[in-house]
Amino acid sequence: MSKKQDLLIEIGTEELPPKSLKRLATAFHQEICAALKDNDLDFTETSWLASPRRLAVIINQLDISQSDKQQQRRGPAVSAAFDDDGKPTRATEGFAKSCGVTVDQLGKLETEKGSWLVFDTLVKGKQTQELIPDMINMALKRLPIAKRMRWGNNDFEFVRPIKWILLLLGTETIDCEIMGVKSGNNSYGHRFHHPEAIIIKQAADYADTLKQNGKVLVNYNERHSLIKDQVEKIAEKNNGTAVIDPDLLDEVTALVEWPISFAGNFNPDFLKLPKEVLIASMQDHQKYFPILDKQNELLAAFICVTNIESKEPDFIKQGNERVIQPRLSDAAFFWERDLKNGLAKHINGLNKVVYQKELGTLHEKSERLNKLISSLAKPLNIEENHAKRAAELCFCDLLTEMVCEFPALQGTMGKYYAEADGEDTDVTIALEEYYQPRFAGDDLPSTALGQCLAISEKIDTLVGIFSIGKAPTGDKDPFGLRRSAIGLLRIIIECEIDIDLNELLDLAASNYPSKVKAKDITNDVFKFLMERLRRYYLDEGVSNDTFESVLAINTSKPLDFHHRLTAVTEFRKLSEADSLAAANKRISNILKKSDFNNTLEVKDNLLAEESEVLLAKTLKEYQKKVVPMIKDRDYKSALTELAGLRESVDSFFDSVMVMCDDDDIKNNRLALLSNLNSLFLETADISKLQG
């Protein structure tokens, strides 16, 4: 028998939660692979497979047993192993007995630290089939399952009841019991097309056997690609383009084992509704893929993916067309009711909706936004009345029937209902935009009012949640503050809004009642935001020491921070960068150790050495050039210009003893270095840069 065989594990279950299937399958695969490595079992390739009723792992060319290992047990030190008469002590005899040998069969280990009695033995490796069951049990227990369930009279818990276990090493079944289910070499096909048992002879046959005999595409990625291809081709035949939401595609892939796609139609009268409403209804309720025409308008059609190959496909098509009718009718009903009520009528209703127990209602939050955005309107050139109106209305769509049914339409419905009420265009757009960015990489608000409203809402949320002690900890962030922080910073930086975070935090904190103690946590929120800013730039490929060089300047304006960071990034590309960074580090250390009084000025008559005279003269010339650049925030040009100081700085350190015996000359040289350091610090602390 070969020393290596393929391993196949299949856990057959009732239908698994579709939104969790991929995560469960990949986690199961990772746990099994990790367990094999921990047990010193080598293998080559691995793969995971999954369908609605199974999780499977294939391990290719797996060792069928562990290797034998030499093991050495160390006993008493030789110096204490025998008494004066040369007889073994009790400790020695006990050690020999525990090893199952006599004292004279023990060996001796010589090291630099002394000699010990030892016993060398060969530990025989275990058979892989003996180890696999425990690995599977442990892997299943470690899967990321929010809620586990029991079934029958068992004490076992899993995400769904386990129905069968397929366990093969090579062509042999590994006999065991997993969660009360005995293993075998049987799998099961499609619930309707082939519910009978299917014998699997070996791992290599697994996917093809289920596909050919059982009408099950067990390869998740194959199903995913097939569904996408089917949907796109059907949309093309209907002279349109399918709206394929990635999450919906994953969910549909996890719902079917034998995907068959087809197009259906609905009453064109429903196209009077906003297309976002129709799309939400089709995607959320029916798991359908909508179709857009060449003008990006919605067609009165949808694409459905079914889990059965019917002999009467038209019956299935007609059934789905009947099902979607009442769904869209409900959406039309919500739309008409909401239009009749109007958006502004919900303002008072916000008093009845608790935002957060300790922070009051949505109406109180709306009032805080009103104050905050009013303070920001003028400096950001925004019409104050429009800003206040947007703050009043921004939460109102949460009380509409449409958003209660489709929460993902928050903001979008606010825009539509505000338009219907005749609100100003700036206001209607802002009501949708202030939710942006909703996720990493999402678009940012395009209008000044939308940006301002988004900034106001996010900063109010951060201050409020921090003030009640609910800041993110570890991987827990129930209020999504990390996402809010990144969104806030992205808007300020990428939309080029010149705003001071500390001032913004103080404004937001001032709107909370004194009992909330919001003013006490603004420093904590600022530090949190700067750490999120660090993560933002690290994800963009900026090095940590580059970030630290700007962080040391203590600028509280994200846009200003960005310009400085860009300047340092470009500066590092210059040939002079490393030398000047090292020189600034040296200067910084000298100034720290010297307790230098930085109020002293450089006196020309105390400049003794030629190189320090040259540096002082050059520095004055550069100050005249660079200071105006810094005032204009042209940090890139400033640092590029300062690179020209390298030769003078290198010459100074090569020929001048800064800490000389003459205190006046020493202090004068320290003043010169302090001026040089300060000029660089106007942009960034380049001493933080690593070579």
Decide: 387 and 373 in contact? Cβ < 8 Å: yes
d(CA 335, CA 333): 5
Mean of pLDDT values over 389-412: 96
* 8 A C-beta contact, residue 343 and residue 417: yes
Q: Are residues 495 and 483 in the same domain?
A: yes
Beta-carbon contacts of residue 139 (< 8 Å; ≥ 6 apart)? 28, 31, 32, 35
Does residue 175 lie in a domain region? Answer: yes
Distances (CA, A) of 512 to 276, 314, 461, 518: 36, 61, 11, 6
- Judged by DSSP in three states, 516 sits in helix
**285 φ/ψ angles, rounded to the nearest 5 degrees:** -85, -40
Which of 180, 214, 248 represents a domain boundary (last residue)?
214
Give the span between the Cα atoms of 109 and 81, in whole angstroms: 13
Give the pLDDT score at 274.
97
Claim to verify: residue 432 and residue 501 sit in the same structural domain: yes
Q: Assess whether pLDDT exceeds 70 at residue 445.
A: yes
Question: Which of 167, 190, 214 is where one domain is finished?
Answer: 214
For residue 286, pLDDT beyond 90: yes
CATH classification at residue 492? 1.10.3210
Residue 250's pLDDT band (cuts 50, 70, 90): very high
Q: Which residue, 214, 248, 272, sits at the end of a domain? A: 214
pLDDT given for residue 560 in this prediction: 95
In the numeric block, which tokens belong to residue 553?
């300047």
Ranges of H-type helices in 424-521: 425-433, 448-467, 481-494, 501-510
The whole-number pLDDT of residue 167 equals 97
**Over 80: is that where the pLDDT of 243 sits?**
yes
Highest mean pLDDT among 69-73, 509-513, 676-680: 509-513
Residue 431 scores a pLDDT above 70: yes
Say yes or no: 684 and 628 in one domain: yes
pLDDT band at 361 (very low <50, low <70, confident <90, very high): very high
Same domain, 145 and 285: no
C-beta separation of 355 from 367 below 8 A: no
| Arithmetic mean of pLDDT over the chain | 92
Same domain, 104 and 152: no
546 in a domain, yes or no?
no
* 330 class by beta-carbon count within 10 Å (0-12 exposed, 13-18 middle, 19+ buried): middle
Is 90 exceeded by the pLDDT of residue 679? no
CB within 8 Å of 336: residues ≥ 6 apart = none
Instruction: Give the list of residues 6+ apart from residue 84 with CB closer than 8 angstroms, or none.
Output: none
Residue with tokens 């700067």: 530
Residues 677 and 609 in one domain: yes
In this predicted structure, the answer to whether residue 2 has a pLDDT above a threshold of 70 is no
Helix axes 646-655, 610-631, angle to 10 degrees: 150
* Cis? peptide before 437, omega within 30° of 0: yes
Residues 419 and 459 sit within 8 Å (Cβ to Cβ):
no
Query: In angstroms, rounded to a whole number, what is the distance separating the alpha carbons of residues 558 and 335?
Result: 41
| pLDDT confidence of residue 667 | 84
What's the 3-state SS for 615-646? HHHHHHHHHHHHHHHHHCCCHHHHHHHHHHHH
Tell me, what CATH number does 622's domain have?
Answer: 1.10.730.10
Give the chain's largest Cα–Cα span: 109
* 559-596 tens-digit pLDDT: 999 999 999 999 999 888 888 888 888 888 888 888 77
498 and 585, same domain (yes or no):
no
pLDDT band at 666 (very low <50, low <70, confident <90, very high): confident
What is the Cα–Cα distance from 305 to 323, expressed in whole angstroms? 14
Is residue 1 scored above 80 in pLDDT? no
State how far Cα 548 lies from the chain centre.
23
Say if residue 376 is in the same domain as residue 450: yes
Find the length of the chain. 691
319 domain-assigned: yes
**What's the pLDDT tens digit per position in 516-543?**
888 899 999 999 999 999 999 999 999 9
Whether residue 185 sits in one domain with residue 224: no
Tell whether 669 and 611 lie within a shared domain: yes
Domain range for 274: 220-339
Per-residue pLDDT averaged across 340-368, rounded? 94
Element (H, E) at 188: strand 186-188
101-115, 354-368, 519-533, 535-549, range with the lowest pLDDT: 101-115
CATH number of 135's domain: 3.30.70.260
Domain count, the chain: 5
Residue 497 has pLDDT above 60, yes or no: yes
pLDDT at 69: 82
pTM: 0.82
**Residue 242, in any domain of the structure:** yes
Cα 417 from Cα 412, distance rounded (Å): 9
Specify whether the CB–CB gap between 160 and 21 falls below 8 A: no
Pairwise CA distance, residues 427 & 413, whole Å: 13
292 assigned to some structural domain: yes
User: Would residue 440 count as lying in a domain?
Assistant: yes
Give the number of other CB atoms < 10 A from CB of residue 365: 23
Same domain, 530 and 399: yes
For the chain, what percent of residues have pLDDT higher than 90?
71
Instruction: Give the pair of three-digit tokens for residue 481.
Output: 């503050």
pLDDT at 54 over 70: yes
**Which residues of 205-297 form beta strands (DSSP E)?**
241-242, 260-265, 289-292
Residues 454 and 307 in one domain: no
Least confident range of 13-22, 67-76, 156-165, 283-292: 67-76
Q: Can you tell me whether residue 28 is helix, strand or coil? A: helix
pLDDT in tens, 467-485: 999 999 888 899 999 999 9
Letter for the amino acid at 519? K
Least confident of 44-58, 412-426, 615-629: 615-629
Per DSSP, helices labelled H in 342-411 are: 362-377, 384-393, 401-405
Residue 210 has pLDDT above 90, yes or no: yes
Residue 649 above 90 pLDDT?
no
Q: Which amino acid is at 410?
A: Q
Bond into 379 cis (ω within 30): no
The arithmetic mean of pLDDT across residues 298-302, rounded, is: 97
Residue 28 falls inside a structural domain: yes
Does residue 554 sit within a domain? no
Give the pLDDT mean for 602-613: 85
